[in-house]
Every structure is written in structure tokens, then in C-alpha cells.
């Protein structure tokens, strides 16, 4: 990977979010297109709303949805998304008041929408590799994705 | 805005509007499952901004009363950064971020396989 790619990422990220630096100090790979500062800002106050598997599932739905928008030949399996999101939303702690359930529901939808938006931006920064990865995942029978 | 500021009728509309927001992915299926016709979902969608506004206004709250049962923060209060900066590499070509519950491959694209394997989605 040449040096131009980290520079291109930094420039694109700054253009998108108005920052001159990526921000997080995680030792990511040199050619990582992760928009660190956006993820951190989005996630810092939502920790604990979802379990790890639930959160990862919401991320996968967001990723699969973003790929269906950016990549040719990839289409979202909407009925499956609806079913799984229903399961996650229904898995609220039993003692919650209706108002708290409503707040939790809204938070989850916001988490999904935010993740989808950030992943869409990340994918657009390197669309070719992003779509190649999505198509490879789609072709892998061992991956239980949300695509048709 | 707080939910307590919203009247009972407003909350009903809010709930309906959130159902409409869910239509971002799967509009018709969500609406029909909730007993609302697609046309009805579009109508209540007119107040979707209210629900979104409430969620954004509340996003800075430090704690939520609806954490999942058994949740124990992986970081002490005010110590999110060290947690955020944690990295896990289950494979030389894969980088996972525990705070994000997401893994990336060496090309910087999301790894569907490793995210599911590591975080159990």
C-alpha cells in the first residue's frame, strides 16, 4: 500500500466531518478507511443499550444495507432484516416502562441509521474494495448475511 | 425535548412515527406487522422529525435506564478513551474494535465473517 492512501483517507474524512485529523489513536492498519472520530462520537453514549451480539447484528444490517446501496448486484433481504430487528427490539428488559421501551427503541433505530451512514461514507471512500469485499462475503455460503 | 413533555396523544403519534422511521429499512413489512397500512405509515411519517429530535436531544445522557440485563461497563466513568482504543487482531489480516463490535479486513473493508465470529451476531 502506498503512502497516498492514508493521505487520501485523511483528506476525505476531513472533508466529510470538518476535522483535519482522524482523531482516535487506535493502531489501525495503515490502509484502514475506518472513520474513527465519527464512530467514537456516535457510540460513546450508547454502550449498554445492546448486548455485544445484538450490537454486532445491528452493525451487520447497517453494513449489508450500505453495500446494497453502493454495490451492483447486491440486494437487501428486507423480510429477514425486519424479523431480526423485531427480535432485537422485543428483547428489551422486562421491567421497562412503556416510555423507556420507546426511548430504547428510538436509540436502536438511531444506532442503526448512524452506523449505516458511517459505513456508507467509509465504503464510498474506497468503493471498489468495499464492493469486492461485500461480493466475496455474499458468495461465502458460511456467512449468514442479510442479502438476497 | 423529553418524552415527559409530550402529551399522551403525542406519544401515540411519536410511537407511530418511529414505526415510520423503521421504514428506512423495510417500510411496508414493518408497517404491516405493526397493524398500520403503508399509506398510514406515510401519514404518521409526517411527525417522524419529532421522534428523531427527541432521540438526538437525549443522546448526551450519560446513563440510560434500559441497559440490557447484566450490563457491566467495560470502562470506569470518564475512561471511555482507553476502552475505545482497544484493538483485537484475531488474524494478522483482521482488526477488530471491541467498543465498535466491528472487524475490518486488511483492505479496510468491513469483515462480515470476523465480526460475526468475534462478536457472535
Report ipTM for this prediction. Answer: 0.77
Residue percentage of chain A with pLDDT more than 90? 58
Q: What is the mean pLDDT of residues A49-75?
A: 96
Give the C-alpha distances (Å, rounded to integers) separating B76 from A25, A42, A59, B32: 19, 19, 25, 43
B residues 85..104 contacting A (CB < 8 A): 85-87, 95, 97, 99-102, 104
Provide the pLDDT confidence category of residue B118 given band limits of 50, 70 and 90: very high
Chain B within 8 Å of A146 (Cβ-Cβ)? no
d(CA B56, CA B33): 26
Q: pLDDT tens for residues B6-50? A: 444 444 444 444 444 444 444 444 444 444 454 444 344 544 455
Q: B21 to chain A: nearest residue by CA?
A: A109
CB B23 within 8 A of CB B45: yes
Degrees to nearest 5, angle at CA A42 with B55 and B107:
145
Write down the mean pLDDT value for chain A. Answer: 81
Q: What is the pLDDT of residue A138?
A: 93
pTM: 0.72
Residue A146, pLDDT score: 95
Amino acid at each position: 500500500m502506498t503512502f497516498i492512501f492514508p493521505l487520501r483517507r485523511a483528506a476525505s474524512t476531513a472533508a466529510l466531518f470538518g476535522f483535519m485529523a482522524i482523531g482516535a489513536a487506535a493502531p489501525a492498519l495503515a490502509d484502514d478507511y475506518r472513520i474513527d472520530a465519527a464512530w467514537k462520537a456516535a457510540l460513546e453514549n450508547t454502550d449498554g443499550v445492546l448486548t455485544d451480539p445484538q450490537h454486532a447484528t445491528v452493525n451487520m444490517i447497517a453494513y449489508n444495507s450500505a453495500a446494497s446501496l453502493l454495490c451492483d448486484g447486491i440486494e437487501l433481504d428486507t423480510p429477514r432484516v425486519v424479523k431480526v430487528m423485531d427480535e432485537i427490539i422485543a428483547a428489551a428488559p422486562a421491567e421497562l416502562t412503556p416510555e423507556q421501551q420507546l426511548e430504547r427503541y428510538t436509540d436502536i433505530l438511531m444506532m442503526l441509521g448512524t452506523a449505516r451512514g458511517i459505513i456508507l461514507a467509509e465504503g464510498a471512500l474506497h468503493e471498489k474494495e468495499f464492493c469486492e469485499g461485500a461480493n466475496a462475503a455474499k458468495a461465502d455460503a458460511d456467512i449468514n448475511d442479510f442479502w438476497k | 425535548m423529553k418524552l415527559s413533555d409530550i402529551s399522551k396523544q403525542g406519544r401515540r403519534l411519536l410511537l407511530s412515527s418511529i414505526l415510520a422511521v423503521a421504514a428506512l429499512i423495510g417500510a411496508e413489512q414493518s408497517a404491516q406487522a405493526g397493524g398500520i397500512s403503508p399509506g398510514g405509515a406515510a401519514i404518521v411519517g409526517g411527525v417522524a422529525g419529532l421522534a428523531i429530535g427527541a432521540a438526538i436531544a437525549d443522546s448526551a445522557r450519560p446513563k440510560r435506564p434500559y441497559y440490557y440485563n447484566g450490563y457491566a461497563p467495560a470502562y470506569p466513568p470518564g475512561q471511555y478513551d482507553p476502552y475505545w482504543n482497544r484493538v483485537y487482531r484475531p488474524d494478522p489480516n483482521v482488526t477488530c474494535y471491541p467498543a465498535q463490535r466491528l472487524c475490518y479486513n486488511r483492505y479496510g473493508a468491513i469483515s462480515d465473517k470476523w465480526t460475526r465470529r468475534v462478536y457472535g451476531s
